A and B are shown apart, each in its own frame.
Chain A
Amino acid sequence: MSSDSPIFKSATELSQDLQAGTVSSAEITQAMIDRIDAVDEKVHAFLHIDKEDALAQAKASDERRANGESLSPLDGVPVGMKDVIAVKNQPLTAASKILENYRSPYDATVVRKLKEAGAVVAGRLNLDEFAMGSSTENSAYGPTRNPWNLDCVPGGSSGGSSAAVAAREVPLTLGSDTGGSIRQPASLCGVVGMKPTYGMVSRYGLAAFASSLDQIGPFSTTVEDAALLLETISGHDSLDSTSYPTDVPSYSAELKISSEPKVLGLPKEFFGPGMDDEVRASIEQVIEYYRSIGYQTREVSLPTTDLSIPVYYVIATAEASSNLARYDGIRYTSRSERAENAIDVYAKSRGEGFGSEVKRRCILGAYALSSGYYDAYYLRAQKARTLIRQDFEKAFTEVDAILTPTSPTPAFKFGEKSDDPISMYLSDVYTISTNLAGLPGISVPCGFSNSGLPIGVQLIGKAFEESSLLQIAHAYDREHLHGRQAPNL
């Protein structure tokens, strides 16, 4: 495929080309479909793609443009959806067998906003079942492979969303991040992935894993593209009681304003043992770069860091055990053919429909909430969560953003961690506390390991200060653009 094919362009470039009339949305979308046909057999980022529907949307976009009625810079640009985000009349499986035959009768708020902006909403992207996992190995429909090394995992749970962007199958995707599920796969696939502040993006239409932690966010090859996608999907939604009433600035416009050098915090607890040497070296280069452009760095302390994984696995599993109770074989989920009575319908449908990680987490969560254990687990975890949040608040009195690696290691091999849940859980050690504190975090590609696997740097910002966080990330990304490098497939 020629390197000036639309698939190798960023969303911002595509937007400019569309506006200049040098390419049509139909051409972009067709190129995307051709690319999926060419490489997705290897990558397996997509669970489903409705080609006709995508081309129809593209055609409608081109017609709007011809009539001078283009809706936004994203009009005509394809955006893929993690298969937990509802799109009307499209399948929504959450990579679970239990939702094998389900189609959503309604659009998620983010999808409505994208459609209103004219974007071509296309493709259902693979994930760990119900977003539970860090490798996409927990998909009931087979794993996604890392485009940089097909023997390696793409990370997870939004592995399909990150791999699809890395493999140049689609310029933009949405994922969801509960404990790192956008940032970790972005890091492992060498693309940009951002989790907004909790409450910044409506969760309406996102099949819930852990309601108090879940946020939808963008994947892209550049920070600039992430800003463009984020500003389109953000904002208060009356259908989500946890969405925050705040104005959304034009992040992409604010990126163009030159910003003063900022102060970056380096949490000492994150730079201890357990970090891969190549990751450490790569992160140190990022720090050096920031210093070279006038940024200050300062060591900060987040003393409750070691609490974040245990706290997360109590709160997230407790909420999940309740959120996933609706998948019961009664209404829209697959019913076990072996069910002979009402109890059977639940037990067998769920037994057959859920994978082992989902079952493990539902059982853990139900246990943490059960009578006699609630105070010891759930209530204590909530108290610890407050402490974690306070640590960040304190750190943010001294610094503008916190810089850490996104993942302790580059992408690992299939099977390497799938038999050891604890080691898998530890791959989210740098990302989880951000969700517990509700803060925005972004992973930006910052280089490659000797074996050619991408490495990502994480920047964590103050609540609802996405604009500043994006500016800081952009200051690095615009000069490096590691995410613009495409793997050979």
Chain B
Amino acid sequence: MEYEAVIGLEVHVQLDTNSKMFTRVGTGFGQPPNSLTDPVVLGLPGALPVMNEEAIEKSIKVGLLLDCKIAEVCKWDRKNYFYPDMPKNYQISQFDQPICEGGQVEIEMPGENPAKMGPHRMVELTRIHLEEDVGKLTHYEQDSLVDYNRAGCPLLEIVSEPDMHSPDEVFAYLTSLRNSLVAAGISACDMEKGQLRCDANISVRPKGETKLGTKVELKNLNTISGVRNGVEYEIRRQIRAIEEGTPIIQETRRWNPEQKYTTPMRTKEMAHDYRYFPDPDLMPVKIDPAWIDRVRKELPEKPFDKQRRYQKEMNLPYSITSALCGDHLLCAYFEEAAGLAKSAGKVANWVVNDLLRELSQANKVDDFAEKETMKTTPQSCPVSPQMLAELVNLIEDGKLTNNVAKELFPEMFTTGKSAAELAKEKGLDQQSDDSEIEGICAEAIANDPDAAEKFRGGKEGAINALKGAVMKASRGQANPKVVDETLRRLLS
């Protein structure tokens, strides 16, 4: 029998805000444990929450980016349960009046090959709500330690409809969501740092069946590929169970990324009764339409819209745009350089091939902390968009050959020197000096009378042998266009 998987995702995104969700204490990663705390974060007697406006604004922004309906009024509820990572033993969240409802995420499935665009579709969202994050527990043999630095950070939960059917769709969804959120400055979405976390609800049913199968919630999916692998495993496990006649029980399972299987965590019977009720310490939030309009004006272009624009308006090939559009910093760099250069297409090639290669080289450091502080971005790297534009223009103007430029680029990246500067230092400026080139060309014709004869006899291809000789003699520095013209003139 053929089966169909039905998957819905709950994605938690830490909003990048200056202060925590309900207090003035700052946010940050890698600070000394429990240093980002105050009476509110620690839930001391008498402490009260006060809403962070920036977190609301960022949530509105996400809602608009994902075409959600923004609530006129949203309110705060307490989700009650005991756990040591939660100082108050309740989490301030949104139960029945979330800040956003509906919405969709555009995804792209893999194409026939990497050079071909795959099919696009919309994944429907149920809702998005805002809540406060919990602390982080570290377990040791005898004790557990808790760090409340993360506790109280604004956390957005984006809940999709059960609208995905394969691990590839899940992967595409997370990738697209992450690209959009990063581009809009909502969050860095680094899964390693817990800035983006994901739980998957998975069920399986015979193909054609409309009723949903029994749902299993999968947790501990800590990387995007972990999500794909975990979901893939769980689908296979459920199909196998159905085929063996074992009933699927509604439960929460944990993905084990090392051993690559899922294990039960708790069943439905063990599920908490969260005793939600409106938080009496906080007033409902009325969201003024003027506020929404203002946020709307600040929305960045969506990554897929950008990609379509690059293809249509700049005639960039799909493979180049797909390499660019996953990274909004790269896009910003590209657009700045392209605006200064004579060929946007050439700039795109340089960005996607050479700049990306140098960046990944530069960021290849093992030490995690170092990686944090030293991370090189397109904007912080030594080759500015102006310098790349200059490089491309030198090639376009015949002042530098492509080969020489390729050689120079890594050095520009390490030294921060411009292409012109380096070429001059190395004596690699392209020769466009007609008399010098004419001399070399004449010599080449003299050295290969056979080729000259064939060309004169109408064999067009024979000129290539002569060109090769000229380039060789000039150590690659002769402008190919000038060489071509000169040879043809001398041979006519």
Residue picked from A85, A105, A241, most chain B C-beta under 10 Å: A241
Mask: chain B, 69-97; 1 = CB below 8 Å from A; 0 = not:
00000000010101010011110000000
Q: Give the distance in Å from the alpha carbon of A205 to the alpha carbon of B46 in the complex.
A: 4
The answer to whether B46 touches A208, judged by C-beta atoms less than 8 angstroms apart, is yes
Interface flag for A369 (CB, 8 Å): yes
With contact pairs A322-B90, A330-B84, A331-B87 given, residues A241 and B275 touching in the complex (Cβ less than 8 Å): no
Q: Give the distance in Å from the alpha carbon of A331 to the alpha carbon of B316 in the complex.
A: 58
Interface flag for A92 (CB, 8 Å): yes
Interface flag for B48 (CB, 8 Å): yes
Interface flag for B420 (CB, 8 Å): no
The answer to whether A241 touches B50, judged by C-beta atoms less than 8 angstroms apart, is yes
With contact pairs A211-B280, A241-B50 given, residues A322 and B84 touching in the complex (Cβ less than 8 Å): no
The answer to whether A369 touches B80, judged by C-beta atoms less than 8 angstroms apart, is yes
Interface flag for B281 (CB, 8 Å): yes
Q: Give the distance in Å from the alpha carbon of A286 to the alpha carbon of B333 in the complex.
A: 81
Residues of A within 8 A of B185 (CB): none
- B292 CB to closest chain A CB (Å) equals 22
B49 to chain A: closest residue by CB:
A241
The answer to whether A371 touches B82, judged by C-beta atoms less than 8 angstroms apart, is no
Q: Give the distance in Å from the alpha carbon of A84 to the alpha carbon of B45 in the complex.
A: 8
The answer to whether B46 touches A104, judged by C-beta atoms less than 8 angstroms apart, is yes
B23 to chain A: closest residue by CB:
A239
Q: Give the distance in Å from the alpha carbon of A170 to the alpha carbon of B48 in the complex.
A: 29
Given A85, A102, A242, A378, which contacts B281 in the complex, CB threshold below 8 Å?
A242
The answer to whether B50 touches A322, judged by C-beta atoms less than 8 angstroms apart, is no
The answer to whether B283 touches A241, judged by C-beta atoms less than 8 angstroms apart, is yes
The answer to whether B277 touches A238, judged by C-beta atoms less than 8 angstroms apart, is no
With contact pairs A206-B46, A241-B48, A241-B49 given, residues A328 and B280 touching in the complex (Cβ less than 8 Å): no
Query: How many residues of chain B have a CB within 8 Å of chain A?
Result: 29
- A487 CB to closest chain B CB (Å) equals 32
Query: How many residues of chain A have a CB within 8 Å of chain B?
Result: 43
Interface flag for B265 (CB, 8 Å): no
Q: Give the distance in Å from the alpha carbon of A318 to the alpha carbon of B87 in the complex.
A: 19
- A438 CB to closest chain B CB (Å) equals 12
Interface flag for B213 (CB, 8 Å): no
The answer to whether A328 touches B82, judged by C-beta atoms less than 8 angstroms apart, is yes
- B262 CB to closest chain A CB (Å) equals 24
Given B43, B46, B51, which contacts A108 in the complex, CB threshold below 8 Å?
B46
Residues of B within 8 A of A378 (CB): 277
Mask: chain A, 191-212; 1 = CB below 8 Å from B; 0 = not:
0000000000001111110111
Instruction: Identify which of residues 233-286 in chain B touch chain A, using a CB-to-CB cut-off of 8 Å.
Output: 273, 275-277, 280-283
- A91 CB to closest chain B CB (Å) equals 11
With contact pairs A325-B80, A369-B80 given, residues A105 and B275 touching in the complex (Cβ less than 8 Å): no
Residue picked from A105, A325, A366, A369, most chain B C-beta under 10 Å: A325
- B275 CB to closest chain A CB (Å) equals 4
Interface flag for B374 (CB, 8 Å): no
Instruction: Identify which of residues 38-56 in chain B touch chain A, using a CB-to-CB cut-off of 8 Å.
Output: 39, 42-51
The answer to whether B45 touches A370, judged by C-beta atoms less than 8 angstroms apart, is no
With contact pairs A85-B46, A328-B89 given, residues A106 and B51 touching in the complex (Cβ less than 8 Å): no
The answer to whether B39 touches A105, judged by C-beta atoms less than 8 angstroms apart, is yes
Interface flag for A374 (CB, 8 Å): yes
Mask: chain A, 207-233; 1 = CB below 8 Å from B; 0 = not:
110111000000000000000000000
Residue picked from B44, B51, B78, B84, most chain A C-beta under 10 Å: B44
Given A104, A321, A325, A328, which contacts B45 in the complex, CB threshold below 8 Å?
A104
Interface flag for A364 (CB, 8 Å): no
Residues of B within 8 A of A486 (CB): none
The answer to whether A207 touches B48, judged by C-beta atoms less than 8 angstroms apart, is no
Interface flag for A177 (CB, 8 Å): no
Given B45, B49, B273, B280, which contacts A371 in the complex, CB threshold below 8 Å?
B273
Q: Give the distance in Å from the alpha carbon of A238 to the alpha carbon of B281 in the complex.
A: 13
Residues of B within 8 A of A108 (CB): 46
Q: Give the distance in Å from the alpha carbon of A69 to the alpha carbon of B49 in the complex.
A: 35
Residue picked from B49, B51, B88, B281, most chain A C-beta under 10 Å: B281
The answer to whether B280 touches A102, judged by C-beta atoms less than 8 angstroms apart, is no
Interface flag for A99 (CB, 8 Å): yes
B272 to chain A: closest residue by CB:
A371
Mask: chain A, 335-359; 1 = CB below 8 Å from B; 0 = not:
0000000100010000000000000
B90 to chain A: closest residue by CB:
A322
Q: Give the distance in Å from the alpha carbon of A241 to the alpha carbon of B281 in the complex.
A: 7
Residues of A within 8 A of B49 (CB): 241
Interface flag for A94 (CB, 8 Å): yes
A93 to chain B: closest residue by CB:
B45
Interface flag for A151 (CB, 8 Å): no
The answer to whether B277 touches A326, judged by C-beta atoms less than 8 angstroms apart, is no
The answer to whether A319 touches B280, judged by C-beta atoms less than 8 angstroms apart, is yes
Instruction: Identify which of residues 396-450 in chain B touch chain A, using a CB-to-CB cut-off of 8 Å.
Output: none
Residues of B within 8 A of A212 (CB): 280
Mask: chain B, 190-224; 1 = CB below 8 Å from A; 0 = not:
00000000000000000000000000000000000
The answer to whether B44 touches A322, judged by C-beta atoms less than 8 angstroms apart, is no
The answer to whether B90 touches A346, judged by C-beta atoms less than 8 angstroms apart, is no
- B44 CB to closest chain A CB (Å) equals 7
Q: Give the distance in Å from the alpha carbon of A241 to the alpha carbon of B282 in the complex.
A: 6
With contact pairs A325-B82, A330-B84 given, residues A369 and B275 touching in the complex (Cβ less than 8 Å): yes
Q: Give the distance in Å from the alpha carbon of A239 to the alpha carbon of B45 in the complex.
A: 14
Residues of A within 8 A of B90 (CB): 322, 325
The answer to whether A203 touches B48, judged by C-beta atoms less than 8 angstroms apart, is yes
With contact pairs A322-B277, A370-B275 given, residues A239 and B44 touching in the complex (Cβ less than 8 Å): no
Q: Give the distance in Å from the alpha carbon of A378 to the alpha carbon of B45 in the complex.
A: 24
- A196 CB to closest chain B CB (Å) equals 17
- A145 CB to closest chain B CB (Å) equals 26
Residues of A within 8 A of B80 (CB): 321-322, 325, 366, 369
**Given A211-B280, A331-B43, 5 other A-B residues pairs in contact with their CB atoms under 8 A:** A204-B48, A212-B280, A241-B49, A325-B90, A369-B80
B contact residues vs A (CB 8 Å cutoff):
39, 42-51, 78, 80, 82, 84, 87-90, 144, 146, 273, 275-277, 280-283
The 3 tightest CB contacts between A and B, nearest first, are A325-B89, A207-B45, A211-B280
Q: List 20 A-B contacts (CB under 8 A).
A: A104-B45, A105-B39, A204-B48, A205-B46, A205-B47, A207-B45, A238-B50, A242-B281, A242-B282, A319-B277, A322-B80, A325-B90, A326-B45, A326-B88, A332-B44, A342-B84, A366-B275, A369-B276, A371-B273, A374-B277
